[in-house]
Amino acid sequence: MARIVMKFGGTSVANIERIRAVSAFVRREIDAGHGVAVVVSAMAGETNRLIGLCADAGPPAPTLDARYIEHDTVVAAGEQISSGLLALVMQNLGYRARSWQGWQIPLKTSINHGEARISEISDSAIGEAMDGGEIAIVSGFQGIAPTGRISTLGRGGSDTSAVALAAAIGAARCDIYTDVDGVYTTDPRLSKQARRIAKISYEEMLEMASVGAKVLQTRSVEIAMAYKTPIRVLSSFDPPDAPGPGTTICDEDDIVEQNIVTAVTPDFNEASVTVLAVPDEPGRAARIFTRLAEAAINIDMIVQSASREHGFANISFTTKEDYLERALEVLNSDKEAIGFSSLQSDRNVTKVSVIGLGMKTHAGVAGTMFQTLADKGINIQNISTSEIKISVLINSDAAEYAVRALHDAYGLGSPAKPADENA
């Protein structure tokens, strides 16, 4: 009997009808003889409702602050409700099932309320119950801090709960059921050529998550990679008796035929800032990025170029759109010490990334990217690379066009969709 973990997000448990559909997926695994733990998010809309109530209660306390504890207490109620309801539905179908709250497992976390990190998951009680044939319905997103207070893992934390639980109980795999039927070569809304990927490596998935593909939370992929827990991304809207094959996220060694480029991923949630005419002296750039880090503003794609004025440089970087206002405030408030002349910013930019393990061993990927964009007359504002990713910053107006062109250029489209099942 293998232990497996199944995770269902908010839209998959949005109401009792959807919860019943979930129970059919669970039944299928139980009937296949597996020991099953099911991790659930709160019913769609519930987390936002609870966050709204907290917001009404007064100005928001910062996350990672003790004042955020009550926020976590309120918001974690959402998963308590959905886990109890799924357990009830399974019981009414004649199965032995019980809900587990974070503190009951216990799933121990750090004290950083609102964005707590999992420190330890006890597998004794829950593993024993599963081996005894009881379905474990686990509240995702929540845990217990060293103080005995309820903590939460941050947005999308249920993915992390599921993968960490799978690692803790030595599950054969962790199936993430969501509202899409897998990970795609690009956003299907942008290109009809987008194709579901049968297998993708942890590394590639991490790069995709980090550039804004919202299928999985980054931390959940990191944990899966560290513990070599295979993840499958599946649709909870497929028929339970014949679910699609989804996308398997696994070790690169388990992928026989690696693509040079696996996916083209746009990130529209970007903004660029250029700090003009910074004196070209040691410590000026450091000051800029230290100030931004102190304000907890994540930055990306840093480029320094010569200014027209001699002895000065322009420094550009990108950040998430949400951070833009704060980034500009932080820099303006320190204008004198940094010594720049003015700031330019642009929200109308998109980061387009091509990601693929094969880049490690194949040359020419970057060349193809730049040539393709040049052929289409698309100007590149900024470039950054990692071992398996090349990202360019372009004007948002050209983004869809660029994504489709790159998707074609790397041969990712496939008219024969089912053919890749044997990959």
Q: Which is nearer to its own copies, 16 or 32 (CB)?
A: 16
From 61-69, 165-173, 308-316, 400-408, give the range in contact with its own copies by CB under 8 A.
Answer: 61-69
* Contact present, 81 and 46 (Cβ < 8 Å): yes
Supply the minimum distance, in Å, between the C-beta of residue 418 and its own copies: 37
- The answer to whether residue 61 forms part of the interface with its own copies (CB under 8 A) is yes
Residue 149 to residue 416: CA distance in whole angstroms? 52
Size of interface with its own copies, in residues (CB under 8 A)? 37
Residue 141 to residue 35: CA distance in whole angstroms? 22
- The answer to whether residue 76 forms part of the interface with its own copies (CB under 8 A) is yes
Interface residue with its own copies among 3, 34, 71, 219 (CB under 8 A) is 71
Supply the minimum distance, in Å, between the C-beta of residue 53 and its own copies: 6
Q: Which of 113, 210, 158 is nearest to 12 (CA)?
A: 158
Number of H helices, E strands in the chain: 13, 18
Q: Facing residues of 39 across strands?
A: 7, 138
- The answer to whether residue 57 forms part of the interface with its own copies (CB under 8 A) is yes
Q: What is the DSSP string of 119-131?
A: EEE--HHHHHHHH
Q: Which is nearer to its own copies, 23 or 382 (CB)?
A: 23
Supply the minimum distance, in Å, between the C-beta of residue 4 and its own copies: 22
* Contact present, 235 and 243 (Cβ < 8 Å): yes
- The answer to whether residue 92 forms part of the interface with its own copies (CB under 8 A) is yes
Q: Phi and psi of 384, rounded to 5°? A: -145, 155
Q: Report whether the peptide linkage leading into residue 106 is cis, meaning its omega lies within 30 degrees of zero.
A: yes
Q: Which of 315, 293, 314, 321 is nearest to 302 (CA)?
A: 315
- The answer to whether residue 346 forms part of the interface with its own copies (CB under 8 A) is no
Residues of this chain, 140-179, that bind its own copies according to CB under 8 A: 148-150
- The answer to whether residue 198 forms part of the interface with its own copies (CB under 8 A) is no
Residue 368 to residue 354: CA distance in whole angstroms? 11
Q: Which is nearer to its own copies, 147 or 348 (CB)?
A: 147
Q: Which is nearer to its own copies, 83 or 185 (CB)?
A: 83
From 84-92, 211-219, 260-268, 364-372, give the range in contact with its own copies by CB under 8 A.
Answer: 84-92
Residues of this chain, 100-129, that bind its own copies according to CB under 8 A: 101, 103-104
Identify the H or E element spanning 67: none
Interface residue with its own copies among 2, 16, 296, 374 (CB under 8 A) is 16
From 89-97, 248-256, 372-380, 412-420, give the range in contact with its own copies by CB under 8 A.
Answer: 89-97
Q: Which of 95, 79, 88, 78 is nearest to 7 (CA)?
A: 79
Q: Which of 12, 401, 387 is nearest to 206 (CA)?
A: 387
Supply the minimum distance, in Å, between the C-beta of residue 207 and its own copies: 37
How do beta strands 97-100 and 135-139 pair?
A: parallel
- The answer to whether residue 88 forms part of the interface with its own copies (CB under 8 A) is yes
* Contact present, 369 and 390 (Cβ < 8 Å): yes
Residues found near its own copies in the complex (CB under 8 A): 16, 19, 50, 53-54, 56-59, 61, 67, 69-71, 73-74, 76-78, 80-81, 83-85, 87-89, 91-92, 98-99, 101, 103-104, 148-150
